[in-house]
Structure 1
Amino acid sequence: MDLSADLDFARSLADTADAISLERFRAADLHVSKKADSTHVTDADQAVERALRERIAAERPDDSFLGEETTADSGAEAMSEGHRQWVVDPIDGTANYLRGVPVWATLISLAVDGRPVLGVVSAPALGKRWWAAQGLGAHSLEGELHVSGVTELGDASLSYNSIQQWDDDDRLQALIDLSRKVWRTRAYGDMWSYMMVAEGVLDVAGEPDLRPWDIAALVPIVEEAGGRITSLDGDPGPWHGSALATNGLVHDAVVEVIRR
């Protein structure tokens, strides 16, 4: 399939999102509330998703939409909504956003029959953006993306996002076991860890307790950069509640350590 026009559209959606989110970033009157699952949501999250949903409805009326703030369900039900589905996280890293930490981004993906084939990750407070589409390579504002060539876990650099997440998912011991096998561990957090895998400056990034909109946009970028992204247990696609991205060369070794 030719995804060039869709990729151009997705990048224009990211421009729309950036204009809204940057204007509200560190705003004194930012409105913050809690959702039913006790996670935070800001007026910026809601405004970005509303704007992108309206543009998609107007410019891609035959496509369905899955977004964090306006869609209650995920998983198999989400995949059944249509052949082409836009999956949006208006602000990935809302906790950072509301505290004024610049590590956050809008995630935009197009999934065809449940498989993400296009992704844009736009982090305007960092001055960064990454994008990819199936067969078109992975790119950033600095150029084309390629994963690292590290082949041994003992030489690998890992970002695990949050100890609490791994502990809450009863995987803390697996994380500790993995940390003892890699060269270096850090918790850069959220989408940034996965983009650094695609850039080749990290070799492994992973976390449990995710939803499809947290993962979908990452998949094409990591894969088109030459890497591999699955669930923590090695299942393909963004529908399994977790993510593991690697340069591909160490993927099976990582899964062997952390799989339930």
Structure 2
Amino acid sequence: MNTIQEEQFSHEILDEFVRVANKAADAAGRVIKEFFWKPALIQTINKYDEDGLIVEQATNVDRLVEDAIVSIILQNFPNHLIFGEEGGWYLPKDKDAAADFVWVLDPIDGTTSFENGVPLFGTLIALLYKSKPIIGAIDQPILRDRWVGVQGRAAMDHLGVPVRTRSCEQLSRATLYASSLLHFSDQEREAFNRVTDKIKEPIFCAECYNYGLLPSGFIDVIVQSYLGPYDFLAFIPIIEGAGGVVTDCDCEKLHWEASSMYKAPKYYRIIAAGDAQVHQDALIYLKNVKKE
């Protein structure tokens, strides 16, 4: 069944979007390879909240990677808007931060892994049309893995082969991944522990790489919190295009209004699953947890 987005664009236009997303991911990968496993070249940059407290860390490489992606996108689509984790809004002089087409970027998702030489980080690229993700890409340049999703099409791996989530209808047989327990509030951690009491095994690592493993049929459930829009929008076309389900932890559709005038939640809590039944069963323990 065709989606609204698919009906609005020809295959040629969608293919052009994918071509540019792949080209941008290639450019990002070239920059990352120049710095990976070269700690003397990597500089840590602290990010501060409005109270002057350190809330997150990035590196000099994050910004270089984002600049490379932005350059490719603007060369091909100069009228599209871009929102990056490092640089915020990239706006043409005659536009405000609201448009039909918006690219959302996370140049290095998993900066800690990158800094410590663990090749499980990735570059995330999403294209939104009227705030709905129509293109998503996860790229891991060191392992040479890439997943690309197009709304209304089957998700593909780096070889252009369709990927598919695996069947797992019982929570007790599911393998669950999360990046770290430190990313959950106390209430979220309690809810998360209720899920892990019911599953086969919880594993902590891999960050965005998990979201490629899930559509490829290697894992069953992912639960994460404290995410910005650049952390998850690229996953949606990939997971859905592989037969999976991804929502917030109250079973609501994930949504980010692509405008600087929109007051988004401070962070998002998400659950992704390869099997709809496992998704529903896990949600029983995760729903209605108040954010701190």
Asked whether the equivalents of residues 178 and 207 of structure 2 are also in contact (C-alpha less than 8 Å), the reply is no
Aligned equivalent of 1:156, options 171, 174, 178: 174
The 5-angstrom pairing of residues 16-31 of structure 1 reads 16-27=27-38, 28-31=40-43
Q: Which amino acid aligns with 1:178?
A: V
The 5-angstrom pairing of residues 40-119 of structure 1 reads 40-71=57-88, 81-119=98-136
Q: What is the deviation of 1:181?
A: 0.9
**Corresponding position: 1:244 with 2:255:** no
Give the aligned partner of residue 147 of structure 1: 165
**Corresponding position: 1:231 with 2:248:** yes
**Corresponding position: 1:221 with 2:221:** no
Rounded Cα–Cα distance in structure 1 between residues aligned with 2:78 and 2:186: 38
Rounded Cα–Cα distance in structure 1 between residues aligned with 2:134 and 2:223: 20
Where does structure 1 differ by over 4 angstroms across 4 or more consecutive aligned residues?
Answer: none
**Corresponding position: 1:182 with 2:199:** yes
Give the aligned partner of residue 199 of structure 1: 216
Instruction: Please state whether the residue corresponding to 1:200 is helix, strand or coil.
Output: coil
**Corresponding position: 1:254 with 2:282:** yes
Decide which moves more: 54-63 or 15-24. Answer: 54-63
**Corresponding position: 1:12 with 2:29:** no
Deviations 1:223-250 (A, max 9, x none): 0000011112212125361221101231
Instruction: Please state whether the residue corresponding to 2:138 is helix, strand or coil.
Output: strand
Q: Which amino acid aligns with 1:244?
A: I
Asked whether the equivalents of residues 119 and 131 of structure 1 are also in contact (C-alpha less than 8 Å), the reply is yes
Deviations 1:29-80 (A, max 9, x none): 21211111431111110011112112222311121111000117xxxxxxx7
Asked whether the equivalents of residues 230 and 238 of structure 1 are also in contact (C-alpha less than 8 Å), the reply is no
**Corresponding position: 1:34 with 2:46:** yes
Decide which moves more: 63-72 or 218-227. Answer: 63-72
Rounded Cα–Cα distance in structure 1 between residues aligned with 2:27 and 2:65: 8
Rounded Cα–Cα distance in structure 1 between residues aligned with 2:206 and 2:247: 18
Q: What is the deviation of 1:189?
A: 2.9
Rounded Cα–Cα distance in structure 2 between residues aligned with 1:114 and 1:90: 20
Q: Which amino acid aligns with 1:154?
A: S
The share of aligned pairs that are identical, in percent, is: 28
Structure 2 residue runs without a partner (length 5+): 1-8, 90-96, 257-264
Deviations 1:188-230 (A, max 9, x none): 3311112111111111001000000000111110000000111
Rounded Cα–Cα distance in structure 1 between residues aligned with 2:158 and 2:206: 20
Structure 1 residue runs without a partner (length 5+): 73-79
**TM-score normalised according to structure 1 size:** 0.92
**How large is the Cα RMSD of the aligned pairs?**
1.5
Q: Which amino acid aligns with 1:91?
A: I
Rounded Cα–Cα distance in structure 2 between residues aligned with 1:140 and 1:186: 23
Instruction: Please state whether the residue corresponding to 1:201 is helix, strand or coil.
Output: coil
Q: What is the deviation of 1:169?
A: 5.7
Rounded Cα–Cα distance in structure 2 between residues aligned with 1:238 and 1:218: 12
Instruction: Please state whether the residue corresponding to 1:171 is helix, strand or coil.
Output: helix
**TM-score normalised according to structure 2 size:** 0.82
When Rg is computed on C-alpha atoms for both structures, the one with the higher figure is 2
Q: Which amino acid aligns with 2:252?
A: D
Q: Which amino acid aligns with 1:29?
A: L
Asked whether the equivalents of residues 23 and 72 of structure 2 are also in contact (C-alpha less than 8 Å), the reply is no
Decide which moves more: 187-196 or 219-228. Answer: 187-196
